[in-house]
Chain A
């Protein structure tokens, strides 16, 4: 576990650095002019609606779901790759079965148009 202690120290140093930068900026910066300056950017016009009241494409959600499926697969591949020499042929066949299932899902998603952005 001792090997992880420097990572913790590093994280603390990074956080301190970020806090110090933001505090320094707070001390030096000029005052805001207020009023319309603080409105969300809308090419100079007063904003009619807020971004949070509007809708955006469902595709982003679909993409996120697909991502979770594939990313979990990747995490399973990592330990397999490290232990490849010990698992040998058996491990390789197991992984082929695992990946073929993934590929079936991938082909299905492709056929349903989930991968096409239009």
Chain B
């Protein structure tokens, strides 16, 4: 059947559009969506244990069917569009949050390419040479969704929440953008697959490269990333004690679910990028170091290099997602002026210092 399809559309279109389509469908419906469903459950469970309670445990054993029940509930909820809202913008906003977060996944390498692993499958959708620039461009679109949603609702809480959120996201985008320059300086390429390849050649994850500058850049990237995805301790846009629910106060049912989906998809994207740029992507710890070669997992029966890459990538990704939840269980929320101070007066000077530091180091050596 695949051969017939190949004949019908021609080899170029088949290689670049039809066969990625299967990977994309698998990634979204078998990868990201189930991950988000169970991330929500995991978050509630972990928060429960951190607060010495049980978390959801009524729907199915250990609450494992909770996400299904949640979706069914959200699907039948009454859908309210406030009578004074700007309707087209109100409907468009949640889509603008979800779509870019998904599209970024197209350039993230989850595992080695077919050449690198000697297998038959590339463990990424595509590899473009401006990968990181594409990611930054797409990530910016999410801000529009939030500010449009807040404004279009024509509710005071939504408007204030939307503005706050936009202010926070653009403030932290600056240190984040600057901190992305550090892995670029180390790798000399913007292709994300290339960045992972450079970490393999240099035999070291970029967090530990040019110590301590790699570590500082990673720290800034992740702090800014947490702020970008509007999560604790930077969850002011949804500060329920002051702004009800921030920009999505007026949203109900499926539209609300889409905002929720977008937030979790953003968490996954930020974590996946942190893994790719700083923690070696799909590489095992100590790549290219002789005595640590057992970490490539090849001694496990039926293990292929591609699968091992996927396992390492997922393990690091889950570690980051756990840290997100851990933050939420641990830190109190920042005040808005403290948040702005941290972004503009601490992170920006620190990241400029880091860029200079790596530049001088690379020039002298």
| Most B Cβ at <10 Å: residue of A25, A32, A33 | A25
**Chain B interface helix/strand/loop/mixed:** helix
CA distance A29 to B154 in the complex (A): 24
CA distance A110 to B93 in the complex (A): 34
Least CB separation from B79: chain A residue: A29
In the complex, whether B156 has a CB less than 8 A from a CB of chain A is: yes
CA distance A3 to B160 in the complex (A): 41
| Most A Cβ at <10 Å: residue of B106, B340, B345 | B106
Contact call A56/B102, Cβ cutoff below 8 A: no
Q: Which of A5-28 contact B (CB under 8 A)?
A: 5-11, 13-15, 17-18, 21-22, 24-26, 28
Contact call A30/B76, Cβ cutoff below 8 A: yes
Least CB separation from A21: chain B residue: B254
User: Which chain B residues border A52 with CB–CB below 8 Å?
Assistant: 84, 151, 154, 159
CA distance A89 to B177 in the complex (A): 23
- Give the bracket for the number of chain B residues in contact with chain A: 35 or more
Contact call A13/B24, Cβ cutoff below 8 A: yes
Given A30-B76, A56-B159, A38-B254 contact (CB < 8 Å): no
Contact call B82/A9, Cβ cutoff below 8 A: no
Q: Which of A40, A71, A75, A118 is within 8 Å of B84, CB to CB?
A: A40
Q: Which of B103, B129, B173 is within 8 Å of A67, CB to CB?
A: B173
Contact call B126/A3, Cβ cutoff below 8 A: yes
B104 smallest CB distance to A (angstroms): 9
Contact call A99/B99, Cβ cutoff below 8 A: no
Least CB separation from A62: chain B residue: B167
Given A77-B355, A78-B184, A117-B340, A25-B156 contact (CB < 8 Å): no
Contact call A40/B154, Cβ cutoff below 8 A: yes
In the complex, whether B41 has a CB less than 8 A from a CB of chain A is: no
The interface stretch among B206-214, B298-306, B356-364 is B356-364
Contact call A42/B98, Cβ cutoff below 8 A: no
CA distance A11 to B84 in the complex (A): 31
In the complex, whether B250 has a CB less than 8 A from a CB of chain A is: yes
Q: Which of B57-93 contact A (CB under 8 A)?
A: 74-85, 91
In the complex, whether B315 has a CB less than 8 A from a CB of chain A is: no
B256 smallest CB distance to A (angstroms): 10
Contact call A14/B103, Cβ cutoff below 8 A: yes
The interface stretch among B15-23, B47-55, B269-277 is B15-23
Contact call A42/B156, Cβ cutoff below 8 A: yes
The interface stretch among B185-193, B286-294, B320-328 is B185-193
Given A39-B83, A74-B178, A115-B340, A10-B253 contact (CB < 8 Å): no
A sample of 26 inter-chain contacts (CB < 8 A) reads: A4-B128, A6-B125, A9-B24, A10-B105, A18-B99, A21-B257, A25-B75, A25-B255, A31-B78, A40-B85, A40-B154, A40-B155, A41-B157, A52-B151, A56-B159, A63-B171, A70-B348, A74-B136, A74-B181, A78-B180, A82-B188, A92-B360, A95-B359, A110-B345, A116-B340, A117-B337
- Report which B residues bind A (CB closer than 8 A): 12-13, 15-17, 20-21, 24-25, 28, 74-85, 91, 95, 98-99, 102-103, 105-107, 125-129, 132-134, 136, 151, 153-160, 163, 166-167, 170-171, 173-174, 177-178, 180-181, 184-185, 188-190, 244, 249-250, 253-255, 257-258, 336-337, 340-341, 344-345, 348, 352, 355-356, 359-360, 362-363
Closest 4 CB pairs of A and B: A25-B254, A74-B177, A81-B184, A40-B155
